Chain A
């Protein structure tokens, strides 16, 4: 197990290294001159040339990449081209809002998804099951910006139950969490349903019935814990979905997190910030996958670690 963990850690580090390289090259290809952006429109050619020299933009790409990488190892993600701040500072300021949104979305998707899954499995092949599964299919087929805008229209504009956007109170958190969590709720409900059905068909349920335990007790004590375990491991993988989702959700709801930071940086081609957010997201995704891989064998010893 220890060697497995070590190997996976090493692999993760290599993946992140690969991502820094690919992102760096891609952003290097973006047809925009950072020096011109920093200097502003009215700057003279000389000023622009000076800034280029200062930033080392005239160096070959590999020299620039090496400089970026060695900075990264010392925790230095560079400075924003457009805002007078360190990238690390900008991200640190935005990260709590995004984490709050993601944790809240995880709770939302688990509550909605698992409830639907359990009810559907217990009412298998009856009308309730069919309509719940249709809901799940719609949830995984709906783009987040559509869900977000429609929720805003109904619950904020028409009913006035929630604020139209922004950040600060619990009421601000509700609609963005549902928007971000609905996709996962769709997946979890389908997984929970088939996982429940699998367990319901197993010998342990027959044994419990034979022992004369009540149906409710069998379901809550024996079926659900066994059915939930394989699903818990999936949360790590959700991080990837969320990292894409927050760009859209935060822009729809004006949520001041790293998704919005990334989106503003992309629109204004603020390369160090784009690079920084990509690295933070990738690190979160890699760590999520790693966690899932490490948790699965603990939960289900039948899955062997290589």
Chain B
């Protein structure tokens, strides 16, 4: 998606200004500021994880367990408490931020690329191409998403990349629907018809004339999609078919410790709150972007 952005940004001097205008507008709205703030903190934690983790997230420390051998509650040396194996929860959560963001961005990136490619191809060429591709998306929509993801994850040994791919396979459909509908109406408009008539190739038409118009939707649904991705990763990891321990992910921290949730609720509470915060942040930013970028909604509500 980055290359597309750059290409469009280069199309005219006003584009760069528009991106800045959108960002300014985003920062003028409380929801946008909150969302961007949370994302910024999480990105910071993920990038600088090795320096800000108070303990080794993999070390099963004897000090990390109570006299009874149970996990330590929050406070003291272990700020957010320790887990069942005596590992520092805060450190595992910080490293887990990395997992969530990497999978969120990678899986969603693949889903966006795939969805946009399918949607544009179907919308631009129409006819049989569209019929076949869109019937296929109908089929994917009817698949129970989580069951499909679990089955896929069970087939392949889950690694970070496989988990990201599995989520992408489930999540691209929504994007392709949106882009298809928009491309189809754009393709019938005069400025595209003219390009076709003067014999411009499909790649040129799509790249220079269609994509700039689709960019708003791609950005909005791409941002909202990260939220879905984060939730799906957490759910898969919670069920034990996502990110595999000892590599921490917020979902698998809950998975590992859930049998103790009644005596050690912080082991569910903290990772749970982080999942909600990250998904919420991307939902808020995506929704605010939709308000800003979608001209048909301007002035309403």
Contact = CB atoms under 8 A, between A and B. Distances in A.
A144 B275 CA distance: 11
Interface string B129-168: 0000001101101111111101110110000000000000
Interface string B219-245: 000000001000100110011010000
Nearest to B31: A137
A229 interface: no
A145 B238 contact: yes
Nearest to B265: A153
Contact of A142 (B142, B151, B258, B279): B279
Nearest to A14: B135
B298 interface: no
A45 interface: no
Nearest to B227: A141
A247 B265 contact: no
A278 B150 CA distance: 11
A141 B235 contact: no
Interface string A1-43: 0000000000100111011001100110111000000000000
A19 B301 contact: no
B191 interface: no
A150 B276 contact: no
B135 A157 contact: no
Contact of B139 (A18, A194, A277): A18
Contacts of B254: 145-146, 149
A281 B151 contact: no
Contact of B142 (A145, A146, A285): A285
Interface residues of A, number: 49
B268 A146 contact: yes
Q: Which of B238, B241, B261 has the most CB of A within 10 A?
A: B238
B262 A142 contact: no
B247 to A, nearest CB: 19
B261 A153 contact: yes
B147 A153 contact: no
Nearest to B271: A146
Contacts of A142: 272, 275-276, 279
B170 to A, nearest CB: 9
A26 B148 CA distance: 9
Contacts of B141: 240, 285, 289
Interface residues of B, number: 42
Contacts of A141: 227, 231, 276, 279-280, 283
B125 interface: no
A251 interface: yes
Majority secondary structure of chain B interface residues (helix, strand, loop or mixed): helix
A240 B145 contact: yes
B187 to A, nearest CB: 18
A21 B272 CA distance: 37
Interface in A127-143: 137-138, 140-143
Contacts of A281: 144, 147
A194 B290 CA distance: 15
A26 B151 contact: yes
A143 B231 contact: yes
A253 to B, nearest CB: 13
B103 interface: no
A269 to B, nearest CB: 7
Contact of B155 (A30, A248, A285): A30
B284 interface: yes
A131 to B, nearest CB: 12
A27 B143 contact: no
Contact of A29 (B155, B261, B275, B283): B155
A236 B166 CA distance: 26
Interface in A163-200: 194, 197
Interface string A231-272: 000000000100111011001000000000011001001000
Q: Which of A141, A153, A289 has the most CB of B within 10 A?
A: A141
Interface of A: 11, 14-16, 18-19, 22-23, 26-27, 29-31, 124, 137-138, 140-146, 149-150, 152-153, 157, 194, 197, 240, 243-245, 247-248, 251, 262-263, 266, 269, 274, 277-278, 281-282, 285-286, 289
The 10 closest A-B CB pairs, nearest first, are A244-B146, A146-B272, A141-B279, A141-B280, A281-B144, A243-B144, A18-B139, A157-B262, A142-B276, A145-B238
15 contacts: A26-B152, A26-B155, A141-B283, A142-B275, A143-B231, A143-B235, A143-B238, A145-B234, A157-B262, A240-B141, A245-B146, A247-B147, A248-B238, A266-B150, A282-B144
Given A282-B142, A282-B143, 9 more contacts: A15-B142, A22-B139, A142-B275, A146-B272, A149-B268, A244-B146, A248-B146, A263-B150, A289-B141
